[in-house]
């Protein structure tokens, strides 16, 4: 089937209608592609040129933190689970009028904020309303927050591009200024932008300490689990290009490469800032969801859970011993370790968490391997998600 890109809204349709089914523009189709990165690469060059022209290059740095929201009754369990299965430990725990927040940190890593709301307004509600996720209507990785040295200039330039934010002005605290986008129609993710002042603290003025502060289990193998390596967001086949182009327009990331896994109807797309930084992965179908019998695991996941972050990957030393110890402590995995030191990479996926819906990936990068992913591992890991 033809895939047609709308020149107005940049979304993709699989019809030959005269008008774009997404934005209504008439006769908008400029490019017909099928299983190709050509259009995406053309557009990513345009976005980078636009960033340079507008002065956005250098205004957004690496990932600073991610915000995972849970149901209030699952929040402490979600924190305990992360304490027991990653290298993260609690650095702050507080509540204010809007949220109860646990900040989990480990050296050299973006922080993980586990949050629950204390008021009913949730801009992500509609993005959680899917067959398997609506039972947990407040649960998802909601926001990826990037550092900026000049938030006011950043927001002014982005507004000139037509970008909207959730709040009319910057959220100003004693320790940082912050703003975030509404959830993306392509990913359901919000992107946040933070400018830190001198002391680093997420707690706003007047925040109170929380009553329950779980302690980290004393298990040596957890010391092997380090920084957040990447997060993978699953997006619909027809939204892949728009999701990546949108992300690049809001950050300083570039599109690096895509691995096509034909057998599972899936594409793993990687955007990077620099070689050593946190990477943003987008996984999409090659063609759209049809039904559970014929569609691959990526499109089935989106049908059941909506577009969202599927997994968080943590860099892991001594991964064979660590994997064995995690399994001994009761952790369930979707697949045994895949890859080898010779190939440069070993990885595995856990079963999704009941409290966050997130899969955890453990990843060991060996030596000077700079390929980021291997086709063999991507294929096996994609196939493993059929079992979740
Ligand atoms: Fe991954």
242 and 184 share one domain: no
Do residues 335 and 297 both lie within one domain?
yes
Q: What percent of the chain has pLDDT over 90?
A: 76
Q: How many angstroms does the Cα of residue 352 sit away from the middle of ligand 1?
A: 13
pLDDT at 29 over 80: no
Query: What is the CA 289 to chain-centroid distance, rounded?
Result: 21
In this predicted structure, the answer to whether residue 345 has a pLDDT above a threshold of 60 is yes
The per-residue pLDDT for 331 is: 96
- Whether residue 70 is found in the same domain as residue 140: yes
Burial of 211 (0-12, 13-18, 19+ CB in 10 A): exposed
Higher pLDDT among residues 232 and 383, named by residue: 232
pLDDT in tens, 228-278: 999 999 999 989 999 999 999 999 999 999 998 888 888 999 999 998 899
CA of 158 to the centre of ligand 1 (A): 29
pLDDT at position 387:
81
Q: Are residues 189 and 254 in the same domain?
A: no
Shared domain for 16 and 72, answered yes or no, is no
Backbone angles phi, psi at 207, to 5 degrees: -65, 150
Question: What's the CA-to-centroid distance between 384 and ligand 1, angstroms?
Answer: 12
Is residue 177 over pLDDT 80?
A: yes
Judge if 174 and 265 occupy the same domain. no
* Inside any domain, residue 255: yes
Q: How far is the centre of ligand 1, averaged over its atoms, from the C-alpha of 88 (Å)? A: 18
Q: Are residues 250 and 230 in the same domain?
A: yes
Domain extent, residue 107, equals 63-209
CA of 232 relative to ligand 1 center, distance in Å: 6
CA of 362 to the centre of ligand 1 (A): 8
Please tell me the distance between residue 230's alpha carbon and the centre of ligand 1 in angstroms.
6
20 contacts: CB under 8 Å, gap ≥ 6: 6, 8, 9, 11, 13, 26, 28, 29
Mark whether 198 and 299 lie in a shared domain: no
CA–centroid distance, residue 295 to ligand 1 (Å): 21
Q: Are residues 318 and 370 in the same domain?
A: yes
Structure tokens belonging to residue 22: 């997404």
Both 196 and 239 in a single domain? no
Query: Mean pLDDT over residues 283-300, rounded?
Result: 88
Query: 356-369, pLDDT tens digit by residue?
Result: 999 999 999 998 78
**Total domains present in the chain:** 3
* Across 85-99, 202-216, 283-297, least confident range: 283-297
The stretches of 237-388 forming alpha helices (DSSP H) are 240-250, 297-305, 319-328, 375-384
Same domain, 311 and 274: yes
Mean pLDDT lowest for which of 16-25, 114-123, 153-162, 211-220? 16-25
Residue ranges near ligand 1 (ion) with Cβ within 5 Å: 232, 313, 361
> pTM, whole model, 2 decimals?
0.92
Residues 176 and 252 in one domain: no
Average pLDDT value over all residues in the chain: 92
Ligand 1 midpoint to CA 107 (Å): 21
């Amino acid at each position: 089937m033809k895939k047609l890109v709308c020149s107005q809204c940049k979304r993709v349709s699989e019809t030959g209608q005269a008008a774009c089914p997404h934005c209504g523009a008439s006769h908008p189709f400029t490019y017909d592609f099928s299983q190709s990165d050509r259009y995406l690469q053309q557009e990513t060059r345009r976005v980078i040129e636009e960033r340079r022209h507008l002065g956005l290059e250098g205004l957004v740095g690496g990932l600073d933190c991610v915000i995972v929201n849970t149901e209030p009754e699952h929040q402490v369990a979600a924190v305990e689970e992360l304490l027991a299965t990653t290298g993260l430990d609690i650095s702050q725990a507080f509540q204010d009028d809007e949220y109860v927040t646990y900040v989990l940190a480990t050296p050299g890593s973006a922080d993980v904020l586990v949050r629950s709301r204390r008021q009913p307004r949730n801009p992500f509600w509609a993005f959680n309303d899917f067959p398997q996720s609506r039972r947990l209507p407040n649960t998802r990785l909601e926001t990826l927050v990037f550092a900026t040295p000049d938030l006011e200039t950043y927001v002014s330039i982005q507004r000139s591009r037509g970008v909207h934010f959730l709040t009319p002005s910057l959220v100003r605290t004693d320790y940082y200024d912050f703003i975030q986008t509404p959830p993306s129609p392509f990913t359901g993710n919000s992107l946040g932008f933070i400018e830190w002042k001198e002391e680093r603290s997420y707690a706003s003025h007047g925040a109170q300490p929380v009553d329950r502060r779980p302690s980290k289990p004393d298990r040596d193998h957890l010391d092997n689990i380090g920084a957040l390596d990447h997060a993978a967001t699953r997006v619909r086949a027809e939204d892949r290009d728009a999701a990546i182009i949108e992300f690049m327009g809001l950050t300083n990331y570039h599109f690096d490469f895509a691995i096509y896994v034909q057998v599972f109807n899936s594409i793993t797309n990687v955007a990077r800032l620099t070689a050593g930084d946190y990477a943003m992965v987008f996984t999409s179908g090659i063609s759209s969801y049809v039904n559970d019998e014929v569609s691959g695991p990526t499109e089935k996941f989106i049908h059941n859970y909506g577009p969202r972050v599927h997994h968080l990957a943590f860099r892991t030393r001594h991964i064979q011993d660590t994997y064995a110890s995690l399994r001994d402590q009761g952790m369930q995995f979707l697949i045994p370790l895949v890859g080898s030191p010779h190939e440069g990479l070993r990885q595995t996926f856990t079963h999704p968490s009941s409290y966050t819906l997130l899969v955890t990936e453990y990843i060991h990068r060996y030596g000077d391997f700079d390929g980021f992913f291997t086709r063999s591992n991507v294929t096996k890991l994609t196939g493993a998600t059929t079992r979740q």
